[in-house]
Amino acid sequence: MQIISDIMTREVRSVSPQETIMRAAQLMDELNVGSLPVCDGNKLIGMVTDRDITVRATAAGIAPDQANVQDVMSQQVRWCFDNQSVDEVMEQMSDSQIRRVPVLDHENHQLIGIVSLGDLATKHSAQVDRTLENISVPSQPDLSH
């Protein structure tokens, strides 16, 4: 059984909730990523995506140098432990329709990596097609705003 620590990306950068969304966007550009874990010290407290910045901030008319990451981040973060099986995490990603999951150390619950569809596709190809298919099911628009 392959576990997440075997395939995850270990060098993951995070952003603090007090950083501006402009700085988060700049960091995403530098790293060529579409999301960043948000950490308060060593504790994972959220995720911010390029879509959060574009849709939540821009749609609300918030200037990127005036809003903080905590204003637009998602607080309900799906995460996994480094010792979980790859199959279990793929199922979690499929069920939640998410493309990347922060990885926490199972002993101290600190962020130590991230696992993405790319990691799964290049390092664990079994069942990736089914996972991608489930993640890619169109979602319904959020009409609650």
Task: Encode pLDDT of 70-120 as tens digits.
Answer: 999 999 899 999 999 998 998 888 888 888 999 999 999 999 999 988 887
Residue type at position 121:
A
Contacts of 74 (CB under 8 A, 6+ apart): 46, 47, 48, 49, 52
Q: Which of 69, 83, 72, 79 is nearest to 114 (CA)?
A: 79
126 to 46, 57, 98, 114, 120: CA distances (angstroms): 29, 38, 18, 19, 9
Beta bridge partners of 111: 104
Which of the four pLDDT bands, split at 50, 70 and 90, describes residue 5?
very high
CATH superfamily, domain at 4-135: CBS-domain (3.10.580.10)
For range 115-141, the mean pLDDT? 63
Q: Where are the domains of the chain?
A: 4-135
127 to 1, 2, 16, 85, 91: CA distances (angstroms): 14, 13, 34, 13, 10
Which of the four pLDDT bands, split at 50, 70 and 90, describes residue 4?
very high
Query: Is pLDDT above 80 for 15?
Result: yes
Beta strands in 4-144 (DSSP E): 35-40, 43-49, 80-81, 100-104, 111-116
In whole angstroms, what is the distance from residue 119 CA to residue 44 CA? Answer: 21
Average pLDDT of the chain?
85
Give the model's pLDDT for residue 23: 96
Which of the four pLDDT bands, split at 50, 70 and 90, describes residue 19?
very high
Give the model's pLDDT for residue 110: 94
Give the model's pLDDT for residue 123: 66
Give the model's pLDDT for residue 18: 97
Give the model's pLDDT for residue 99: 87
Contacts of 134 (CB under 8 A, 6+ apart): 94, 95, 97
Question: In angstroms, what is the C-alpha Rg of the chain?
Answer: 16
